[in-house]
């Protein structure tokens, strides 16, 4: 089973979802993430995932075009912009969408910004756990 998580820049939300879906799916699915642009993996996303015991420091920021040859079973968009702006992507994948806030746009002190990253991380964790329980067997 192949699953693609898509967001705008493949730096925060899709990276977090990839980390959690890999964790919850184990060896039952191959998880990919990509963006309609590539912004690099956000260090705060890496840090907040590490706090929860998930290491995404080795992830790379990938463009959706890199995966045109992969036959996906599921395509999950994690932001409205990616859902609306995604170029035509030929796939028979079942599509899911959830719009998570972008923690990279958080303002305030480092402590306040990290709190916003944690809140988004926890939302994505709950979504990923629920998705894995329902669709990955």
d(CA 107, CA 114): 10
CATH number of the structural domain spanning residue 81: 3.40.50.2300
- If one counts the domains in the chain, the total is 1
- Residue 75, pLDDT > 80, answer yes
Q: What is the pTM of this model?
A: 0.94
Catalytic residue positions? Answer: 7, 79, 86
- For residue 63, what are the domain limits? 2-135
* pLDDT tens, residue by residue, 91-136: 788 999 999 999 999 999 999 999 999 999 999 999 999 999 999 9
Is 107:113 a contact under the CB 8 Å cutoff? yes
Element (H, E) at 119: helix 110-135
């Amino acid at each position: 089973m192949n699953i693609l998580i898509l967001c705008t820049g493949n730096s925060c939300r899709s990276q977090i979802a990839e980390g959690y879906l890999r964790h919850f799916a184990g060896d039952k699915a191959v998880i990919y993430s990509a963006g309609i642009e590539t912004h690099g993996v956000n260090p705060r996303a890496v840090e907040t995932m590490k706090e929860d015991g998930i290491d995404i420091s080795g992830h790379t920021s990938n463009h959706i075009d890199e995966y045109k040859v992969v036959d996906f079973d599921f395509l999950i968009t994690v932001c409205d912009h990616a859902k609306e702006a995604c170029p035509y992507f030929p796939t028979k994948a079942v599509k899911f969408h959830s719009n998570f806030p972008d923690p990279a746009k958080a303002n305030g002190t480092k402590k306040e910004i990290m709190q916003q990253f944690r809140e988004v991380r926890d939302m994505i964790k709950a979504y990923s756990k629920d998705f894995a329980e329902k669709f990955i067997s």
